[in-house]
Homo-oligomer: A and B are copies of this chain.
Amino acid sequence: MRLTSCGVIVEYNPFHNGHKYHLEQAKKKSQADVLIAIMSGNFLQRGEPAIIDKWHRAEVALKHGVDLVIELPFAYAVQSADYFAKGGVKLLQSLHVDALCFGTDTTKSLDYSGFGKEYVEKETLINLRYQELKNNGQSYPQQMTQIYRELLPSVPLDFSSPNHILGMAYAKENARYNTPMSLIPINREGSGYHEEGIQDQTFSSATGIRKQALENNLSSISHTLPKESLADLNQMLLHSWEDYWPLLKYQLLSHSTNELAKTYQLTEGIEYRLKECAKKARNMSEFIEMVKTKRYTWARLQRLATYLLLNVTQEEIEQVWNQSYLRVLGFNEIGRRYLKQEKNRSELPIITKISQKNESQLSLDIRAGQIYQLIEKDIASEQDYYRSPIYLREEC
């Protein structure tokens, strides 16, 4: 009998009780046999290093309900919501996943599937209108608000909720496929996405948790995390942008503006500004503050900084877009059976080990892992070469 599946597209930075609740709801509402997580690797959507590496985050997810963890390639993960969603949905579609479950924290109610369909139908018009507004000096959310009001007046607008924006992006992508997944939004409980304060509650935002963890204040967040996450945060070297700041600064100072301009998305002369500010800034947050403008939001600048840090080119990104793959980070018995079921049906190659055959295809993810590990005191274990997927066997 064919196993049914439900997908989630996640970062788990780090995995907390809110994620656990989300997985429980996904299982319950989808009634699927298998839960599949498409998870960002060592660098994340907002252009940040993950606080803990992808293997440890995958393992905690497997211990709390996920049956199969696939890495969202860097070329999709470190992107604005639309491209992030494009990658996540593409990978789930290639695995013939039946449902996509995602968190949302908007108070507006939206038929996501209906919205996705309508958007795709009107897409040409929307894109034309965007080209007209593109350089009017407004921010992207402002421009989008205007376009939606004009062309999709029935859609309730809420650009203040990153999860809702992602949900809409999933819906749009999903609607492009012949057999779209059924969409299952789940209302988030507890803290808002960006809230930094930790209240006396079981749920807390990942942002708040990271802040406390980086400040060595684990006792204040211990009740918001499963014990495995807490143990990782306690025992491992935690990664934050500040650790990579000396390398980014060096990269900016050791290359000419001409060389820097070859980096992915480094356009409009921003390389001059970045180089100048790199000389003056004492740390990463000071640097981003200095560079920030209305056009360049914090997340966008952090993504640019990540592309610079990893020396990413347009060609490398497009290579992954044109030839994607399913990099397996871990599974349990049921996840393993699902992979077996899909092995010959998947449109994308399933990769469980780096080999001479696939290392150039995965070169961007491999480089991300090597640079991610540079801040370790000693030679850190490889993130990609010689690693096999985690196989979590059921405990007797």
Contacts and interface: CB of A to CB of B under 8 A. Distances in A.
Interface in A338-390: 367, 370-371, 374, 378-379
A278 to B, nearest CB: 10
Nearest to A246: B374
A280 B379 contact: yes
A295 interface: no
Q: Which applies to chain A's interface (DSSP): helix, strand, loop or mixed? A: helix
Interface string A31-75: 000000000000000000000000000000000000000000000
B246 A279 contact: no
A249 interface: yes
Interface in A87-111: none
A250 B247 contact: yes
A364 to B, nearest CB: 11
A194 interface: no
A24 to B, nearest CB: 40
A182 interface: no
A211 interface: no
A249 B378 CA distance: 13
Contacts of A311: 254-255, 259
Give the most central of A250, A259, A279, A310: most B CB within 10 Å.
A250
A291 interface: no
Q: What class of interface size applies to chain A in its complex with B?
A: 20 to 34
A282 B380 CA distance: 10
Give the most central of A253, A309, A371: most B CB within 10 Å.
A253
Contacts of A247: 246-247, 250
B370 A279 contact: yes
A101 to B, nearest CB: 37
A171 B255 CA distance: 37
Given A255-B311, A311-B255, A282 B379 contact: yes
Interface in A206-260: 246-247, 249-251, 253-255, 259
Contacts of A253: 367, 370-371, 374
A374 B249 contact: yes
A272 to B, nearest CB: 14
A254 B371 contact: yes
A247 B252 CA distance: 12
Nearest to A249: B374
A149 to B, nearest CB: 44
Nearest to A253: B370
Contacts of A367: 253-254
A330 B295 CA distance: 46
13 contacts: A246-B246, A246-B374, A247-B247, A250-B251, A250-B371, A250-B374, A253-B367, A253-B370, A254-B367, A255-B311, A259-B311, A279-B379, A282-B379
Given A246-B374, A280-B379, 10 more contacts: A249-B374, A250-B250, A250-B251, A250-B371, A250-B374, A253-B371, A254-B309, A254-B310, A254-B371, A279-B370
